[in-house]
Amino acid sequence: MKRPVLVIMAAGLGSRYGGYKQMEPIDDQGHILMEYSIYDALTAGFREVILILKRSQEAVFKETVGKRLSRFVKVHYVAQELQDLPEGFAVPRGREKPWGTGHAVLSCIYTLNEAPFAVINADAYYGKRAFALAYNYLISHLDDSVFHYAMIQYSNSCSTSRGETLPAVCQMANDGKMWAFTDSVLDELQSRFPVFLEQSQKNPMEAEYLLPTVVNELLQEGKADVKVLRTDDRWYGITYRSDQKVVQAAIRDMQKMGLYPNYLWRENKHIRTL
């Protein structure tokens, strides 16, 4: 089995935030939020990261975050662009909105090279245990007659007990939560994308190809199951500018508790250099 990879979706426009929130410093040392996720992922066992960006964002990421990470983790940069569509399809005139999380993950199909992976958003904090749960699941589960996926859950919204398999009738968690997938999901995303594009003509400016929607289809068809992995860690997301202050305060508190060093990328006992 190949070692699991962490996939981070960072190509969002941040329209409700009013700017490119993925690059906003979250602490006094200038770290951005996704660096805390990468730090926790390395502690859990991940050693490879794929950052999904717009092509116009790649240079600034490499010059800032990329330089800080380069000694500790292998980083791939993958572009998610509106124009990346199957043959026979074109971007609707006037559309600027990305195609959604399903399209973002699909953009990694060749970079992942059949490895299992966890997928997160760049604008959320997930907690240390979430990465350990995802990593341990991915190294211990293979597909058989069905695909075996997992979802980290922070609430009882689906009324499932710890470790229970998510039923098809359950409303899927929103795209802010962490998923763990075998590479089988990529083939499903690829084969279903043209169908979505045909249907999107009813709402060409806003339709989104969402990862939870595709997973729910697989559940309903009996092609996959999803294990619910619960954590008591708190999840924080940044949608609006007011959310930024909440997350900054939470990070400061965790630093004071000793959960994180002030400078993440100085060598320490929790992570090693490549």
pLDDT digits (tens, 9 = 90+) for 38-88: 999 999 999 999 999 988 889 988 988 898 898 899 999 999 999 999 999
What is the arithmetic mean of pLDDT over 175-190?
91
Structure tokens at 54: 């717009």
pLDDT at residue 17 above 60?
no
For residue 138, the Cα-to-chain-centroid distance in whole angstroms is 15
Segment among 26-30, 55-59, 168-172, 262-266 with least mean pLDDT: 168-172
Q: Is the confidence at residue 12, as pLDDT, over 80?
A: no
pLDDT over 80 (residue 26): yes
Instruction: Indicate the angle between helix axes 128-138 and 33-44, nearest 10 degrees.
Output: 50
- Here the tokens at position 143 are 């597909």
What pTM value is reported for the model? 0.91
CATH architecture of 5-256: Alpha-Beta Complex (3.90)
Look at residue 271 and tell me whether its pLDDT is greater than 70: yes
- Residue pair 250/125 in contact (Cβ under 8 Å)? The answer is yes
Token pair for 205: 């400016």
**Alpha-helical segments (H) within the chain:** 33-44, 58-61, 67-69, 101-106, 109-112, 128-138, 184-199, 211-220, 241-256
Nearest of 135, 236, 219, 145 to residue 181 by alpha carbon? 135
pLDDT tens readout for residues 105-133: 999 999 999 999 999 999 999 999 999 99
Above pLDDT 90, what percent of the chain? 69
Rounded-to-integer distance, Cα 109 and Cα 138, Å = 17
Structure token pair of residue 75: 């980083």
Check residues 193 and 25 and name the one with the higher pLDDT.
Answer: 193
Residue written as token pair 């409303």: 171
Please tell me the least confidently modeled range out of 122-126, 154-158, 170-174, 203-207: 170-174
pLDDT band, residue 163 (cuts 50/70/90): very low
